[in-house]
Amino acid sequence: MNKGFFITFEGGEACGKSTQIKKLKDYISAVAKNDKFVFVREPGGTPLTEELRKYILNYEIDKPLPMTELLLFCACRHENVYKNILPALNEWKIVVADRFYDSTIAYQGAARNIMSMEDILDLTKKIIGDVKPDLTFYFKLEPEEAFKRKTGLGELDRIEKEGLEFHRKIAKGYDYIASLEKDRFYCIDASKSIDEIFEEILRVLKEKLPQIF
């Protein structure tokens, strides 16, 4: 059981979650509570997994096979959990992750159909044990809108280059997970303005962690 509090930000491409994480970092810095928070991202978080991130997302010479892609994400998660996330939680800190295993279920499960979403969750449990987010912000955006936003983002990585149907499958995957874990998931209308979304996030965090926010 986690001693700290584990928050994840999830959603499809161009949903705005990374922008909101940056705003949260800035807010926390302004109120001088940096020592209570640890921010991580997936894939990444350690020197090894940051190197792997480059290959997973941008390696065009010899693209990984679908199962290889899935296992690389899982390997990065194992490193991140045991080197960053669990140590921080055991010190009663608040961990904020830009993606976690829900992304793998939606992307490699629902969208790529490498294996069933249930099988990916079983594999995840074997890799990281019972580590699970306490709160997940799901940035819900219509796939068509996400695809429009994506075209204006500049240089895209290998996964961001996927087509509209891929976005639709990702959205269905996230919606399915959210329907099963309503207590953990907080759905955000990602079509709202950046400031409106951030105010909503802060309101939820103040309810969940009044001693911090």
- Identify the structural domains of the chain with CATH numbers, from first to last: 5-208 (3.40.50.300)
CA separation for the pair 118, 116 (Å, rounded) = 5
pLDDT at residue 153, rounded to an integer: 66
pTM, entire model:
0.93
Please name every residue paired with 94 in a beta bridge, in sequence order, or none if there are none. 5, 37
Helix (H, G, I), strand (E, B) or coil at 97: strand
Nearest in space to 111 (alpha carbons), one of 50, 57, 175: 175
Residues in the chain, total = 213
Inter-CA distances, 110 with 12, 22, 51, 151, 167, Å: 12, 28, 26, 23, 10
How does the average pLDDT of the chain come out, rounded?
Answer: 92
71-83 tens-digit pLDDT = 999 999 999 999 9
109-163 tens-digit pLDDT = 999 999 999 999 999 999 999 999 999 999 999 988 987 887 666 677 778 778 8
161-183 tens-digit pLDDT = 788 898 899 999 999 999 999 99
